[in-house]
Structure 1
Amino acid sequence: MDYKRGDNPDKPGTTDPKPAADRGDGPDDVTPEGPVAFTAKLEICDSYPTHNGPLRFTNVLVNEGAGYSPGTGIFTCPQPGLYHFTVHASTYGRAQFMIYKNGQKVVSAYHTTLDDKKSQMASIGSVIQLSKGDEVWVDLWGACRNAIFVSKDNDTVFLGFRLG
């Protein structure tokens, strides 16, 4: 017997409007999750941080999926998958920062001012495979002040989004 799209071979004489993969009863059935994306900016009052550890970007512009916490500066993965993270930092002097995943360094940046003593942009980014509950943040290191800043003309941002 030949079946046409929509015919249900398990129940002869009936027609199912959806193919088997769309009915939720097969291994190919995939329920799409909502988007996950965030962009958060450093506040002017948090410029030139002197601490080690997570940098808190408290001015949240987008937090689709509610994974980013401005209180801690940590993104907690709500859905498994591949994610892209980027940090763009305005610097004036020495800046040392890295993207961490679950306490392990993924990528890092070390920046010093050029002889012309002008502000610069330092950026790092990476694609990271995450499981639900994994944590990602921007970490500072160094014995003294980091020259990461924000002004009316310059922003420092941390952003991430789920691919695909």
Structure 2
Amino acid sequence: MQLRFWLVTGILAVVLGTTLPQETVCRAPDGKNGIPGAPGLNGRPGQKGDTGEPGKPARRTGIRGPKGDEASRQFPPHRGNTVVFDNIITNQEDSYSAQTGEFTCRIPGIYYFAYQVISSGDLCLSITKNKESVVSFCEDNIRNILQVNSGSCVLSLAIGDKVSVITSSLQNMIYSGSEADSVFSGFMLFPQMG
């Protein structure tokens, strides 16, 4: 009998709970807010916005230096171990000599120099400052195919300092031909003050 009572009471509660609207259910007042939970995961990215207005031009912060120098060579003449790039591409300050293969500093400053030389065999090259090697780069060319050898450095130069590219006497396989050019270039990054 007790089992029947609880069965009827349970069914009645279920039927009444589903048929009564929520507004008529007796509710207690809301309690105090709890502590905030942990932040959730980021949502999906939104749609791309409209293109903005163009920015204002930047203010010039540097000092305008001289133009760079660049020379190339197709058929390499040599003066001792100095590599002479005899085809002048630009020489704004007339600082590079196609006769000696040397760049002579006319304005003291910090300069960047780079070369890209085509070789048909093993090749070792150095960038020199006043005939002293600053950096050296060697490339082995086991297959004896045309390959590009490159090197670069940043130098602090005073008036009259000379920069050139030299070969070692043992490994000097600079390519001579019309298919490709070798290039030597340099330019001032900024002048030295004081």
TM-score over 0.5 (shorter chain): yes
User: Out of 152, 156, 161, which is 1:129 matched to?
Assistant: 156
User: Out of 77, 80, 92, which is 1:64 matched to?
Assistant: 92
Supply the distance in 2 between the matched residues of 1:70 and 1:138 (Cα, whole angstroms): 13
Alignment of 1:161 with 2:187, yes or no, is yes
Q: What is the total number of aligned residue pairs between the two structures?
A: 128
Supply the distance in 1 between the matched residues of 2:145 and 2:166 (Cα, whole angstroms): 24
5+ residue gaps, structure 2, are 1-62
State the Cα deviation string for residues 82-139 of structure 1 (Å, max 9, x = none).
1000010111111111100012111111112134x42111100001000111000011
Q: Which residue of 2 aligns with 1:40?
A: 71
Alignment of 1:94 with 2:129, yes or no, is no
Supply the distance in 1 between the matched residues of 2:125 and 2:96 (Cα, whole angstroms): 18
- TM-score, normalised relative to structure 1: 0.71
Contact 2:67–2:187 (8 Å) recurs in 1:
yes
The alignment-based identity, stated in percent, is: 31
Alignment of 1:79 with 2:107, yes or no, is yes
Aligned residues: CA RMSD: 1.9
Computing the radius of gyration from Cα coordinates, the structure with the larger value is 2
Supply the distance in 2 between the matched residues of 1:75 and 1:105 (Cα, whole angstroms): 15
Supply the distance in 2 between the matched residues of 1:147 and 1:36 (Cα, whole angstroms): 31
Q: CA deviation at 1:64?
A: 1.0
* SS, match of residue 141 in structure 1: strand
State the Cα deviation string for residues 68-94 of structure 1 (Å, max 9, x = none).
000100100010001000010111111
Q: CA deviation at 1:150?
A: 4.2
More contact order relative to length (CA 8 Å, sep ≥ 6): 1
5+ residue gaps, structure 1, are 1-31
Amino acid of the structure 2 residue aligned with 1:37? G
